[in-house]
Structure 1
Amino acid sequence: MSRAPTTGRYVALALTLAVAVMSTACGKGQDAESGDRAPGVTKDTITLGALVDLTAVFAADSKTVVQGAKLYWDTVNKNGGVCGRRIEVDVANHGYDPQKAVSLYRDMSTKVLAMSPVLGSPIVTALKPSFDRDKMLVSAATWTSQVLPDPNFQIAGATYDLETVNAVDWLTREKGLKRGDALGIVYFEGDYGGNSLKGAKHAAGELGLKLSEHRIQPTDTDLSTQVNAMKTAGVKAIVVAAASPQVASVTTVASSIGLDVPVVGNTPSFSPKLLTTPAGPALTKNFYTASSIAPAPSATGDEKRFVAAYRAAHTGEQPTQNGVMYAYAAGRIINETLSKACDDLTREGLQKAFRSLTDLDTGGAVAGTLDYSDPSVPPSRQVFISRAAKDAPGGLTAVGAPFESDLARSYPFGK
Structure 2
Amino acid sequence: MKKLTTMLLGLSLLITACGGEKETTTATPKESETLKIGSTSPLTGPLAIYGVTATNGAKLAMEEINKNGGILGKQVEFTVLDSKGDSTEAITAYNRLVDEGIVAFIGDAPSKPTLAIAEVAAQDNMPMITPTGTQFNITEAGPNVFRICFTDPYQGVILANLAKNNLGANTVAILVNNSSDHSDGVTKAFIEEANRLGLNIVAKEGYAEGDKDFRAQLTKVAATNPDVLLIPDYYEQAALISTQAREVGLTATLIGPDGWDGVAKALDPSAYGAIENSYFTNHYSLDDPSEKVQKFLKAYREKYNEDPSSFSALSYDAAYLMKDAIEKAGSTEKEAIIKAIKESDFDGVTGHLKFDDKNNPVKAVTVLKIVNGKYTFDSVIQPN
Bin the TM-score by the shorter chain.
Answer: 0.7 to 0.9
**SS of residue paired to 2:265:** helix
203, 227, 248: which is aligned to 2:218?
227
> Which residue of structure 2 lines up, in the alignment, with residue 348 of structure 1?
335
Residue 189 in 1 paired to residue 171 in 2?
A: no
80, 83, 88: which is aligned to 1:94?
83
**SS of residue paired to 2:164:** helix
Distance verdict in 2 for CA 1:121–1:216, change over 3 Å? farther
Residue 382 in 1 paired to residue 364 in 2?
A: yes
How much identity, in percent, do the aligned residues show?
A: 21
More helix by share: 2
Distance verdict in 2 for CA 1:148–1:289, change over 3 Å? same
> Which residue of structure 2 lines up, in the alignment, with residue 366 of structure 1?
350
Question: Deviation of residue 278 (structure 1)?
Answer: 4.4
> Which residue of structure 2 lines up, in the alignment, with residue 8 of structure 1?
none
In structure 1, the gaps of 5 or more residues are 1-32, 410-415
**Aligned counterparts of 2:214 and 2:103: Cα–Cα separation in 1:** 42
Question: Deviation of residue 34 (structure 1)?
Answer: 11
**Aligned counterparts of 2:90 and 2:205: Cα–Cα separation in 1:** 28
Question: Deviation of residue 290 (structure 1)?
Answer: 0.9
Bigger mean CA offset, 203-212 vs 167-176: 203-212
Asked if the contact 1:261–1:286 (Cα under 8 Å) also holds between the matched residues in 2, the reply is no
Question: Deviation of residue 228 (structure 1)?
Answer: 2.3
Letter matched to residue 99 of structure 1 = T
**Aligned counterparts of 1:258 and 1:344: Cα–Cα separation in 2:** 60
Structure 1 segment 16-415 matched on structure 2, within 5 A: 42-111=31-100, 112-140=102-130, 141-149=132-140, 150-178=142-170, 181-187=171-177, 189-208=179-198, 209-210=200-201, 212-271=203-262, 272-274=264-266, 276-283=268-275, 285-291=276-282, 293-298=283-288, 300-315=290-305, 317-321=306-310, 323-341=311-329, 343-357=330-344, 359-362=345-348, 365-367=349-351, 369-372=352-355, 374-376=356-358, 378-390=360-372, 395-400=374-379, 402-404=380-382, 409=384
> Which residue of structure 2 lines up, in the alignment, with residue 19 of structure 1?
none
Q: What is the TM-score with the length of structure 2 in the denominator?
A: 0.84
**SS of residue paired to 2:346:** coil
**Aligned counterparts of 1:167 and 1:35: Cα–Cα separation in 2:** 56
**SS of residue paired to 1:75:** helix
More strand by share: 2
Letter matched to residue 88 of structure 1 = E
**Aligned counterparts of 2:65 and 2:146: Cα–Cα separation in 1:** 20
**Aligned counterparts of 1:281 and 1:287: Cα–Cα separation in 2:** 10
Asked which structure has the greater RCO (Cα within 8 Å, sep 6+), the reply is 1
**Aligned counterparts of 2:208 and 2:93: Cα–Cα separation in 1:** 24
**Aligned counterparts of 1:370 and 1:77: Cα–Cα separation in 2:** 24
Question: Deviation of residue 353 (structure 1)?
Answer: 1.1
Q: What is the TM-score with the length of structure 1 in the denominator?
A: 0.78
Write the deviation string for residues 287-339 of structure 1: whole angstroms up to 9, x where unpaired.
22112x11222152133122112112222x33212x32222222232222122
Distance verdict in 2 for CA 1:42–1:103, change over 3 Å? same
Question: Deviation of residue 135 (structure 1)?
Answer: 0.8
Distance verdict in 2 for CA 1:260–1:108, change over 3 Å? same
Distance verdict in 2 for CA 1:233–1:98, change over 3 Å? farther
Asked if the contact 2:145–2:359 (Cα under 8 Å) also holds between the matched residues in 1, the reply is no
**Aligned counterparts of 2:320 and 2:154: Cα–Cα separation in 1:** 22
**Aligned counterparts of 1:385 and 1:349: Cα–Cα separation in 2:** 36
- State the aligned residue count: 355
Question: Deviation of residue 217 (structure 1)?
Answer: 4.0
Letter matched to residue 45 of structure 2 = A
In structure 2, the gaps of 5 or more residues are 1-22
Write the deviation string for residues 329-354 of structure 1: whole angstroms up to 9, x where unpaired.
2223222212212x221222211111
Question: Deviation of residue 148 (structure 1)?
Answer: 4.0
**Aligned counterparts of 1:344 and 1:113: Cα–Cα separation in 2:** 10
Bigger mean CA offset, 185-194 vs 96-105: 185-194
Write the deviation string for residues 105-144 of structure 1: whole angstroms up to 9, x where unpaired.
2222232222212111111222332111011222212122
Question: Deviation of residue 207 (structure 1)?
Answer: 2.1
